[in-house]
Amino acid sequence: MTATDSTDPPKAIVIGAGPAGLTAALELTRHGITPTVFEQDALVGGISRTQCYNGFYFDMGGHRFFTKSKEVSALWRETLGDAFLVRPRLSRIYYNRRFFAYPPKVGNALHGLGFIESAIVIASYLRWQAFPYKNVETFEQWVTNAFGKRLFEIFFKTYTEKVWGVGCDELRAEWAAQRIKSMSLGAVVANMLRWRSGKVTSLIEQFEYPRLGPGMMWQFYSDKVTSAGGEVRLDTQVKAIEHHDDRVNSVVTIRGGVEDRHAAAQVYSSMPVTQLIRALRPAPPESVVDAAGTLRYRDFMTVCLILKGEDLFPDNWIYVHDSEVKMGRIQNFKNWSSDMAPDSSKTSLGLEYFCNRGDGLWTMADDELIDMGARELEAVGLARREDVLDGVVYRMPYAYPVYDADYRDALDRIRDYLSHFGNLQSIGRNGLHRYNNQDHSMLTGLYAVRNLNAGANVDLWKVNAGDDYHEQVGEGAT
C-alpha cells in the first residue's frame, strides 16, 4: 500500500497519548508549537487509562499519583483542582490463607507467621547480614541480602515470579535496587516499632488520585492540547518513521486501513523502543535491530468484576502471594474513589493477572477468565462466586519492560544509535525501557521538548535512574 502525502507543513509529531506523550504535547504548546499526537488506541492514557464499563470506572492496575517532582505535582493539581483527591492507603498481603498488613505491623506479622516462623525469619536475616552475597547480580541475591533468605522465600518469591514470569534468580538486581532502595528488614521492623523518626520511603500511607481514575487526568491533558491548537488523533497507528542524514523527515500512519505520510519537524516517540527501531526507514544497522529484538516485556490483564455487596473489604488493593491462585493483585475501585462505582450497593473489582501475549492466560476466552476470577475470589474468601453480576476483561500489552541479563547491553547499543538523530527523542516508560511511573514518564516528555526547543541537554535515559522511590510493592514485588 502507498501512503498519501499530507499537505500539512512539517509538524512536531508525538507518538502515543499516554502520560509521556501528552505531557510532551502540552509542553510543546507552551513553546508556541502546535503538535499532532498519534495514538493507536481509541482512548488516551496509555497504561494509565481508565476504562468505563456499564457506568463503572476501571483503572488498569491502580495508579497512585505520587511524585517528588514539584513541577509534576503542580501540573497535576493545576489540571484537576478539586477532582484530585487525597486518599488513605490500605493494602494487605494474602499469603498462606492469611491476610498480613502492609506496611507490616508487629503483632499482625508475628500472629500470622507464628512464633517459630518469625524466629526463623530473624535468624535468617542475621545470617545474611553477617555473610551476604558478595556479587549482587540478581533480584534474589539483592533481596536476600536486604531481608534474609527466609523472608525472601515467604514474601517475595511467589509474587515476584507471578509478576515477571521468570525465576527471581534471572531478574536483575537493578530492578530491586530501583524499587526497594531504602528498605531493609531492620528499617521495616524499626518502622513497625517506631524506633526511628525517619520515614522509610516505601511506606507511604496516602496518595493522590483523580476522582474518576487516572484516565481523567489524561483526558484533561488531551483537551488542553487540543484547546491550545494541537491535535490528538486516536485509532491512528504510527507504522514507519522515515529519516535522512540523521533527521526524521516524515512519519507514516495507518488508520482504518488508510496510510498517510506526515512531514515531521521533530518527533517524540513513546512507543516501545523495540517498535521504534523496527519502524525506522531506512532500517538501522543489523546489530541495533538485533539488540531491539532481545528486549522483553511482560504483559498484563485485568479481569474486572461487578459484584453484589456494598463493602466487601476495606483495602484499596490486596497482593495475592499464594501460588494456589493465578491472580497477583485485587483492586477495589470504590476504595480508590467512591465515584468509580456509581451504584453503592455494588462493588467493582479488578483482578490482575500477569502474563505474556499469546500464552494460555492471554488467549483464554473472556467468559472463562471472568469465571476463573470469580472462582479465585471465592477461594481467597473475599466474595461468593454467585455474587458476581457482570464482568469484562482488558488486556494491556507492553505493561512491564523486563530487566533481564541482556537488556543493558542491548539498550546501550540502541541508545547510542538513536543519539545520532537531531530531531527524534524516545520518551516514556517503554520508549526508554525503564520501569518508570507516571511522573517519571511525564518528566521525560517535558525534558525532551526542552532538549529540542529550549537548548536543554537532559539525558532522558537517566531520568529516575538514581531516584529512590516511594513504593516498593507498587507494581512488582513486595
| Site residues, ligand FAD (CB under 6 A) | 15-21, 38-41, 46-48, 61-64, 237-238, 270-271, 275, 300, 399, 428-430, 436-439, 441, 474-475
- Comparing C-alpha atoms, which of 42, 72, 41 is closest to residue 445? 72
- For ligand FAD, the closer of residues 47 and 304 by Cβ is 47
Q: How far apart are CA 64 and CA 70, in angstroms?
A: 16
Cβ 124 to ligand FAD, closest distance in Å? Answer: 30
CB of 367 to ligand FAD, least distance (A): 23
Cell of 211: 476522582
Beta strands in 258-328 (DSSP E): 258-269, 280-281, 297-308, 317-320
Report d(CA 300, CA 150) in Å as an integer: 28
Q: Which is nearer to ligand FAD, 260 or 439 (CB)?
A: 439
Q: 103: cis peptide before it, omega within 30°?
A: yes
For ligand FAD, the closer CB: 62 or 104: 62
User: To the nearest whole angstrom, how small is the minimum distance from the Cβ of residue 57 to ligand FAD?
Assistant: 16
From start to end of 213-277, where are the E strands?
Answer: 231-233, 237-244, 247-255, 258-269
Closest CB 368 distance from ligand FAD, rounded Å: 22
| Alpha carbon distance 306, 283 (integer Å) | 47
The span from the CA of 138 to the CA of 172, in Å, is: 4
391 sits in which H/E element: strand 388-401
Nearer to ligand FAD, 391 or 431 (CB): 431
Q: What is the DSSP code string of 418-451?
A: HTT-SSEEE-HHHHTT----HHHHHHHHHHHHHH
Work out how close the CB of 127 gets to ligand FAD at its nearest, in angstroms, rounded to a whole number: 34
Minimum separation from the CB atom of position 383 to ligand FAD (A): 21
Q: Closest Cα to residue 238, out of 421, 7, 17, 19?
A: 17
**Contact indicator for 469, 437 with CB cutoff of 8 Å:** yes
Cα–Cα distance, 307 to 169 (Å, whole number): 39
Q: Which is nearer to ligand FAD, 138 or 222 (CB)?
A: 222
The least CB distance from residue 455 to ligand FAD, in Å, is: 24
**C-beta of 204: minimal distance to ligand FAD in Å?**
11
